[in-house]
Amino acid sequence: MSVEKRASGILLHISSLPSKYGIGDFGPQAYRFADFLKRARQSYWQILPLNHTNPKTAHSPYNCFSAFAVNPLFISPELLYRRNLLTKSDITDAPALPQANVDYTRVESYKKKLFHIAYERFRDSVESSDFELFRAQNSSWLNDFAAFAALRHHFGGRLWSDWPRRIRDRNEKALKAMTSQLAEDINRQVFLQYIVYQQWFALKKYCNENGIQIIGDIPIYVALDSTDVWSHPQIFKLSRYKKPRYIAGVPPDYFSRTGQLWGNPVYDWQRLKHDGYRWWIDRIRHNLRLFDLVRIDHFRSFVAYWQVPAGHKTALHGKWIQGPKDDFFNELLRHITFAPIIAEDLGYITADVREMIGKFGFPCMKVLQFAFDGDFSSNPHILHNHTENCVVYTGTHDNNTARGWFSKEATSGQKRSLFDYLGHRIPANQIHWALARLAMSSVGKIAVIPMQDVLGLGAEARMNRPALSKGNWKWRLRPKQLTPALTKKLRDLSCLYGRD
Q: What is the pLDDT of residues 125-176, one digit of tens each?
A: 866 789 999 999 999 999 999 999 999 999 999 999 999 999 999 999 999 9
What integer pLDDT is reported at residue 34 of this predicted model? 98
> First and final CA of the chain: distance in angstroms?
21
Query: Is the pLDDT confidence value at 462 over 70?
Result: yes
Cα–Cα dist 393/295, whole Å = 13
What integer pLDDT is reported at residue 174 of this predicted model? 98
Contact 335, 280 (CB under 8 A): no
Task: Count how many residues are written for the chain.
Answer: 500
Q: Which of 42-46, 86-90, 260-264, 459-463 has the lowest mean pLDDT?
A: 260-264
Q: Which of 84-98, 104-118, 188-202, 354-368 has the lowest mean pLDDT?
A: 84-98
- The three-point CA angle 103-106-110 to 5° equals 135
Cα–Cα dist 499/442, whole Å = 11
Query: Is the pLDDT confidence value at 489 over 80?
Result: yes
pTM above 0.75, yes or no: yes
Q: Averaged over 231-258, what is the pLDDT? A: 92
Cα–Cα dist 434/437, whole Å = 5
What integer pLDDT is reported at residue 306 of this predicted model? 96
What integer pLDDT is reported at residue 127 of this predicted model? 64
Per the DSSP assignment, residues forming a β-bridge with 101 are 475
What integer pLDDT is reported at residue 126 of this predicted model? 64
Q: Averaged over 80-106, what is the pLDDT? A: 94
The closest of 370, 390, 494, 371 to 444, measured between CA atoms, is: 390
Strand pairing class (364-367; 446-450): unpaired
Q: Which of 144, 344, 345, 453 is catalytic?
A: 344
User: 132 an active-site residue?
Assistant: no
Model confidence band, residue 467 (pLDDT cutoffs 50, 70, 90)? confident
Q: Averaged over 408-416, what is the pLDDT? A: 96
Cα–Cα dist 362/360, whole Å = 6
What integer pLDDT is reported at residue 124 of this predicted model? 84
What integer pLDDT is reported at residue 257 of this predicted model? 85
Q: Averaged over 66-95, what is the pLDDT? A: 95
Reduced to 3 states, what is the DSSP secondary structure of residue 215?
Answer: strand
Task: Pick 244 or 128 by higher pLDDT.
Answer: 244
What integer pLDDT is reported at residue 93 of this predicted model? 81
What integer pLDDT is reported at residue 466 of this predicted model? 87
Query: Is the pLDDT confidence value at 494 over 70?
Result: yes
The closest of 294, 462, 315, 467 to 391, measured between CA atoms, is: 294
Contact 52, 70 (CB under 8 A): yes
Query: Is the pLDDT confidence value at 302 over 80?
Result: yes
What integer pLDDT is reported at residue 412 of this predicted model? 96
- The three-point CA angle 170-172-178 to 5° equals 80
Q: What percent of the chain has pLDDT over 70?
A: 99
Task: Pick 96 or 492 by higher pLDDT.
Answer: 492
Cα–Cα dist 140/383, whole Å = 45
Query: Is the pLDDT confidence value at 4 over 80?
Result: no
Residue type, 439: A
The closest of 226, 229, 227, 228 to 245, measured between CA atoms, is: 229
Q: Averaged over 442-455, what is the pLDDT? A: 98
Contact 107, 22 (CB under 8 A): yes
Q: Which of 144, 217, 228, 297 is catalytic?
A: 297
Q: Averaged over 56-84, what is the pLDDT? A: 97
Please classify residue 466 by burial: count the beta carbons closer than 10 Å to its beta carbon, then call 0-12 exposed, 13-18 middle and 19+ buried: middle
What integer pLDDT is reported at residue 129 of this predicted model? 84
User: 344 an active-site residue?
Assistant: yes
For the chain, helix (H) and strand (E) counts, in that order, are: 19, 12
User: 282 an active-site residue?
Assistant: no
**CA dihedral of 80, 43, 61, 15, whole degrees rounded to 10:** -40
What integer pLDDT is reported at residue 1 of this predicted model? 61
Q: Which of 122-131, 182-191, 400-409 has the lowest mean pLDDT?
A: 122-131
Mean of pLDDT over the chain: 96
Model confidence band, residue 410 (pLDDT cutoffs 50, 70, 90)? very high
Model confidence band, residue 277 (pLDDT cutoffs 50, 70, 90)? very high
- CA–centroid distance for 247 within its chain: 20
